[in-house]
Amino acid sequence: MKRTLAALWAALSSRALAPLVIGFFFALYIGIAFFTDETLTVLITLTSRNRLLAAVLGLLPLNFACRMVVEAAGYLKRRRALSRGAVALEPALYDETVELAASPDFAELPERLNAAGYRTKESGELLAAWRGVSLAPARLVFLATACCLFAGILVSLVGRSVTRQPVIEGEPFPSPTTTGGLVQRIIFKQSFGSILAKDLIMEVAGTGPGEGTRELGVYPPNLVGGAFVYPRYLGVALDCKFTAPDLPGGFERSDIFAIYPPGKEAQMAVKGSPYKITLSLEKPQDGSDPYMTGQMVLHFKLVKGSDLLLEGNVPKGGEFVRDGFRLAIPEARRMVLTDFVVDYGVLLIWGAGLLLLVAVLIWLPVRLFFPRREMLFQAGGGTVRACSHAEGRAREHAGVFHEVLDVLAGKQSDSSVS
Amino acid sequence: MSALKLLPQLLAWTALAVVLLRGCTERRRLTAFACAAGFVTGVLGIAFLARSLPATPYGVVRSLLGGSFLVLWVVSVAALYRSTGRGGSAVASARLPARSLAIGSLSFFFALTAGGICACRLPAAGGDLLPLLAPLALVLAGLALLVGALAVERRLPASLTVNFPGLLAALVALLLFSSASLLRLDLFSPLSMKVMKGTHDFVHQFMESILIPDHIFVRPAIWGYIGFLFGKEVGFWGGMVIWFTPVLLVLLAIRFELLPKVSHIRQGALRRKLLAAAMRERNLRMVIPALSLVVFAAAAYQSCYPSVEYWDPKPVLVSADAAGEILLAKKGGDLNLEDGKLHKYLYRQGGHEARFFVLLTPTGKLTVDLDACAICKPDGYGQAEGTVICYYCKTLIPLDTVGKPGGCNPVPIAFTDKNDAVHINAVTLMNEWTRTVQSTTKKEGGK
């Protein structure tokens, strides 16, 4: 059992596991590419529906988590060896370990090592020397980044649910899980930020006593009832009334139309008649944005079969009357087609982005300017066991290490001569 | 003239034999024999396939090329993994397999593929004798060059060695260079196209996944940067990254190989001598992979600027009659719509214009198509070697599939074939063109 667990741990914490799993998905991607142009979409769908594939993907965050444990344990062991001197040095922790018949007298060494820029500590039969800062914390943060990223992708693939709903001024906020308050106003305005050109704010009244008005913006998306509010398209909620000479009873409809920006068309069929009405927002002559100002003029085309009968403009609250035809738009309200996304993987992916930034900010200066270099000398039984480890500038470090070993070996031969 | 066209392939074959012989110096005779057998099998096998199943050889050779490139990727990643791992004996693990079977199989496979590529370059027709004589002449030329390669390899300095990943990189580079001048075997252009599509899909999925606002909210300049990710330049540069990375990984793997441990040696001079020798050997082992990098670059260049001349006639301006029909006579003067060549036309109406072409496919079916596809920017098509090529994404469309909708195929247009003329409805043509072009140009970079 112990052996099985050890083998399992070795496999899960292996550096080879992540490249293997990524390679597997890459091979799968190539395989799918032979059959369809929508390769990524098919791969995503397959992984989200197939538990085995999801489990294989799950190996990635697990592997990075296990490697964090291994990395942290190695770091702590190396620190312990430097500070207190472990009973037995572990060669696996070091780049190089050598045992030589040498004098256990470390007397001149601290001075020599200090001159080379190393800090030293001597305790009993142990001499430790080090300089620079360890990259282990940066590596830990990087492993945490990878763990969060792949965990986020896995959670997103397996658990993401999206509901698209229109948010309309003057109507209850259509949160998928709770009863939303009234949408008091939708504000669309110029933004002075460096990334967003326009701001969208949906003001939603509180539902209970003491709950104030909530403002839902574009980015970062707000959480409402456990779902992220992700505005996608702008449009208009219209009340239309239409009568024609051969349709005296008239036609009335309240519906949403994704007709932003101005000029974008949407078509409405007049039920029980050959008429179709194509609507678009008219671009104001002063260049203003009708969605921002709220002063909307609708451009319409009235088609019967394939013949264009009429074309004209109707302002919000106004009507168009000609040749027995009448088109009235008593109400036009701002509408935002919004996705309600239940997906906590997003948080992990954002977290991974931040962690990556932290890892790079730590790793780069440390690796360039202060790489960690360590050496450890442990005397006992007429021999000295020496270990060396460098995270950068390894050849320079190896030179110092070899010199120290030469000094120790020289002392031994001096003492044997005397 | 055909023999001259084979020059790059034969050069690549010679270099491939030299590299294989240098990589397997312990079994030189076996390697030479396997190379000869592989080349002969490759040439004759593909020549036989070309006679019995004309469309198959290209697919077979392309699969071999794609497979060997994938194997190179795996080997290069593994090599880097081993050489950066603590305590990994990188040098030992990167050694060539010493077994006769492994060396024989490796040599046979690469020689077979090289022979196959050369055979694909042979003229497809030319009398009754040529299909027999040309492969035989090619086999003799290949064997003569192999003898030359043996002589050249013996004169190379003994210190110039290569490890297994380096050997593989050189062999794959030479095969890709050899195939790059054949449109239907070229891998770089389809790779760029797949990268372009893959990047587009990935960026789209990624932005939706992390809830990035849509373009109506984002500054045009920022959206411009995002739009760059959808362009064909990304396909090209992404393709370059995938193309060159395996060789770079092999070079890095050699560079990161651990130097021999010398701490147990107490003579400083000896230590330095050993380390210097190890570093010199390591540097020499990087020579062949570094040269492979140049060969990879030459293959990519050849793919981007092929010497093939596409048949791409200037579109002829046509107009519609009073009933809104465009009439194209099938024959008249020098014109013959049924000669199997592209015939391009341009129709203008009210400031708009639509480009289309008429083609008789090898199946004997006449087809009318837009000079644009449903997914790329409308850069149009050219005709070469049994295919039409989309100029935008360099996808090759076999002639017998032209007229079928989907993917990067030209968008087919309804027409009638009566009274020795092709009749096309001008409104349908213009609407189809507008719809297609609008949907492909509104996406930055098309695909």
CB within 8 Å: A198 and B210: no
Q: Which residue has the higher pLDDT, A67 or B258?
A: A67
Beta strands B316-318; B343-349: pairing state: parallel
Q: What is the mean pLDDT of chain A?
A: 88
Hey, are the CB atoms on B85 and A33 less than 8 Å from each other?
Answer: no
Residue A140 has φ and ψ, to the nearest 5°, of -60, -45
Is the per-residue pLDDT at B217 higher than 80? Answer: yes
Separation in Å, CA of B251 to nearest CA in chain A: 19
* pLDDT reported for residue A21: 96
* pLDDT the model gives residue A259: 87
Confidence check: pLDDT of A247 > 80: yes
Comparison of pLDDT for B103 and A418, the residue scoring more: B103
The nearest CA of chain A is from the CA of B422 a distance in Å of 27
Identify which of B85, B212, B222 has the shortest CB distance to residue A15: B85
CA distance A9 to A18: 14
Of B205, B261, B271, the CB nearest to A96: B261
Share of chain B above pLDDT 70, in %: 91
The residue-averaged pLDDT of B10-15 equals 95
Q: How do residues B150-191 score in pLDDT, each as one tens digit?
A: 999 999 998 888 999 999 999 999 999 999 988 788 899 888
| Mutation target vs B (from A17, A38, A40, A264; most B CBs, 10 A cutoff) | A40
Please tell me which residue, B333 or B178, carries the higher pLDDT value: B178
Please report residues of B whose CB lies closer than 8 A to that of A196: 213, 217-219
Provide, as residue numbers in chain A, all residues whose Cβ is less than 8 Å from the Cβ of B74: 23
**pLDDT given at position B442:** 47
CA distance A87 to A81: 8
Residue A398: both structure tokens together: 């190896």
Best A402, A404, A411 residue to mutate vs chain B (most B CBs within 10 Å): A402
**Partner-chain contact A23 B202, CB within 8 Å:** no
Residues B43/B139, Cβ–Cβ less than 8 Å: yes
The tokens for A151 are 């965990």
Give the confidence band of A87 by pLDDT, cuts at 50, 70, 90: low
**Do strands B396-398 and B387-390 pair parallel, antiparallel, or not at all (unpaired)?**
antiparallel
Inter-chain touch B214–A19, beta carbons under 8 Å = no
Inform me whether the pLDDT recorded for A368 exceeds 90.
yes
The mean per-residue pLDDT over the stretch B270-278 comes to: 91
- The reported pTM is 0.77
Question: What domains are there in chain B, each with its CATH number?
Answer: 2-186+243-302 (no CATH), 316-441 (2.102.10)
Residue A406 to residue B263, Cβ atoms within 8 A? no
- Among residues A180, A256, A191, A179, the alpha carbon closest in space to that of A217 is found at A191
The predicted model gives A386-410 an average pLDDT of 88
Record: contact B211-A100, CB cut-off 8 A: no
Residue B447 banded pLDDT, cuts 50, 70, 90 = very low
Contacts of A16 in chain B (CB under 8 A): 81
Average pLDDT, rounded, for chain B: 85
Backbone angles phi, psi at B444, to 5 degrees: -60, 120
pLDDT score recorded for residue B93: 45
Bridge partners for B348 per DSSP? B353
C-beta atoms of B201 and A38 within 8 A = yes
pLDDT digits (tens, 9 = 90+) for B386-434: 788 888 877 778 888 888 887 788 999 999 988 788 999 888 888 888 8
Q: Chain A: nearest CA to B391, how far in angstroms?
A: 19
| pLDDT at residue B126, as a whole number | 46
List C-alpha distances in Å: A384 to A60, A84, B60, B127: 42, 17, 63, 84
Angle between helices B188-209 and B232-255 (to 10 degrees): 100
Residue in B with minimal Cα distance to A413: B266
Report residue B128's pLDDT band, with 50, 70 and 90 as the boundaries: low
B33: left (phi over 0), alpha (psi -120 to 50) or beta: alpha
Percent of chain B with pLDDT over 90: 40
Of B77, B268, B407, Cβ closest to residue A402: B268
In this prediction, residue B69 carries a pLDDT of 95
A64-79 per-position pLDDT tens digit: 999 999 999 989 988 8
- Per this entry, what is the length of chain A? 418
Q: Is the ipTM of this complex over 0.90?
A: no
